[in-house]
Amino acid sequence: MIKNKKIIVVLPAYNAEKTLETTYNEIPFEIVDDVILTDDMSSDETVKVAQKIGIKHIIKHDFNKGYGGNQKTCYNKALELNADIVVMLHPDYQYTPKLIHSLCYLIANDIYPVAIGSRILGKGAVKGGMPRYKYISNRILTFSQNLLMNQKLSEYHTGYRAFSKDVLESINYNLNSDDFIFDNQMLAQIFYKGFEVAEVTCPTKYFEDASSINIKRSIKYGIGVLGVSFSYFFNKIGIGNNKIFK
């Protein structure tokens, strides 16, 4: 806890048996009160590893719900357990758990209601081995999103995020896509509600066991990102009717 605020880390997992234990061991349990792992029907031993290392709350999907669907399960369970701050951390060890302190203190001290780890600030993405095409796409998409949503984030595509309870209860994330575009829809909902987002410089690692989407899915994701941003813009000026912003 920080200032009597319960902190729960959620791990949306899919085939993470090789990296889960390393990720879990770096979680700062001096401030983290609980951990939830949701397994999206992995084909490896993710659940057995989670049980072995002592994760108390393990949820196994009966079918693959997708990246967004997995997060919905995470957040719903965290709110059920009365979390005040929820940290979404990928169990593939692409992001270091050592930044949980920084993200959570921003929220616990009521400075920002949302904090994200940015790979772009400090050139963490390039140093960590992000493929060049992904880096260029990230910059183009982020520029477009900032323009359409009148924001100034360094990136919208990080998978390292922390939210206050108030934020999660104020947006209807359960209406969002079950696919990778979920992350962008969630940030759009957060900005639409008037919440501010802090960014913390975050190193990242690209390696064989880290999860990543291929070029075909990346293109689909990019088109979806632009769709979310235009939808946000049209809803803001009063000519859109996207249900996720209701």
**Biggest alpha carbon–alpha carbon distance for the chain:** 52
Question: Domain limits at 54?
Answer: 7-132+152-183+195-212
CATH number for the domain spanning 71: value is: 3.90.550.10
Q: What is the pLDDT of residue 198?
A: 97
Distance between CA atoms of residues 199 and 232, nearest Å: 21
Find, among 83, 66, 84, 86, the residue nearest to 11 by Cα.
86
Q: Are 24 and 3 in contact (CB under 8 A)?
A: no
- Owner of token pair 């997992």: 13
In this structure, is residue 118 part of a structural domain?
Answer: yes
Reading the block at residue 51, the tokens are 């049980």
Distance between CA atoms of residues 122 and 133, nearest Å: 19
Reading the block at residue 82, the tokens are 């009365």
- How far from the centroid of its chain's Cα atoms is residue 14's Cα? 14
In this structure, is residue 63 part of a structural domain?
Answer: yes
Count structural domains, the chain.
1
Reading the block at residue 149, the tokens are 């949503």
In this structure, is residue 68 part of a structural domain?
Answer: yes
Reading the block at residue 182, the tokens are 């979920």
In this structure, is residue 109 part of a structural domain?
Answer: yes
In this structure, is residue 82 part of a structural domain?
Answer: yes
Q: What is the pLDDT of residue 121?
A: 80
CA angle 138, 195, 11 (to 5 degrees): 60
- CA 92, 97, 103, 108 torsion-angle sign: positive
> pLDDT per position in the chain (246 positions), as tens?
999 999 999 999 999 999 999 999 999 999 999 999 999 999 999 999 999 999 999 999 999 999 999 999 999 999 999 999 999 999 999 899 999 999 999 999 999 999 999 988 876 566 656 777 778 888 899 999 999 999 999 999 899 999 999 999 999 999 999 999 999 999 999 999 999 999 999 887 664 554 556 677 778 888 999 999 999 999 999 898 899 998
Q: What is the pLDDT of residue 128?
A: 59
Number of Cβ atoms within 10 Å of the Cβ of 65 = 19
pTM of whole model > 0.85? Answer: yes
Per DSSP, 204 falls in state B
In this structure, is residue 236 part of a structural domain?
Answer: no
What are the angstrom distances between the C-alpha of 192 and each of 100, 137, 153, 184, 228?
Answer: 25, 24, 15, 12, 12
In this structure, is residue 243 part of a structural domain?
Answer: no
Distance between CA atoms of residues 200 and 238, nearest Å: 33
Q: Which string of DSSP letters, residue by residue, matches 130-172?
A: --HHHHHHHHHHHHHHHHHHT---S-S--S-EEEEHHHHHHS-
Residue 194, phi-psi category: left (phi > 0), alpha (psi -120 to 50), beta (remainder): left
Reading the block at residue 59, the tokens are 């949820």
Give bridge partners of residue 35 from the DSSP assignment: 9
Find, among 11, 3, 50, 58, the residue nearest to 161 by Cα.
11
